[in-house]
Structure formats: C-alpha cells, structure tokens
C-alpha cells in the first residue's frame, strides 16, 4: 500500500455542539454501506478523512464542521 493512498484524502473537523452528535462513515463502490459510526459529546472534536474506502460522511445533531472550503454550522433537529 502506498502512503499517498492512506493520507491523500481531504480532512474535515467536526465539533459537537450538543451531546450525542452521530458521525457515520459511508463506503465507496456500487453499493454504499455504513462502515463506521461514532458518537460525540458536547465539545468533543473528531477529525475525519475521505479515503479510498470512505466516500461520504453523514453527521446528525448540532455540530460545527470545518473544511478547506469553510465552516458549516449544522443546526440539528428542530421540533
């Protein structure tokens, strides 16, 4: 395995703004599947990377997402 295959993907930083923010990693390929999930408590950070295995990242809950394109505030569910 070439080191570029492992570290060449874009990174995003996810900061939980409430307890219970869920991060779901989705696979590449003909059939998209969940391959990893994490739960964050308020104030926790996660650095996630797009790789040859990860094509998408789904985030549920109130969170701040930092990318090379800018910052996004995810408001979470509202009733």
Taking alpha carbons only, the member of 70, 65, 72, 57 closest to residue 25 is 57
What does pTM read for this prediction? 0.80
Domain range list for the chain? 3-74
- What is the rounded average pLDDT of the residues 10-39? 91
- What is the rounded average pLDDT of the residues 7-33? 88
Superfamily of domain 3-74: TRAP-like (2.60.40.50)
For the stretch 42-68, pLDDT in tens is 999 999 988 888 888 999 999 999 999
Check pLDDT > 80 for residue 77: no
The confidence score (pLDDT) of residue 32 equals 84
For the stretch 67-76, pLDDT in tens is 999 999 999 7
């Amino acid at each position: 395995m070439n080191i570029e295959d492992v570290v060449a993907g874009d990174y995003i930083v996810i900061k939980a703004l409430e307890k219970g923010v869920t991060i779901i990693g989705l696979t590449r390929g003909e059939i998209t599947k969940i391959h990893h999930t994490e739960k964050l408590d308020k104030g926790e950070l996660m650095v996630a990377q797009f790789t040859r295995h990860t094509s998408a990242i789904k985030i549920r809950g109130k969170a701040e997402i930092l990318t090379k394109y800018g910052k996004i505030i995810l408001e979470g569910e509202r009733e």
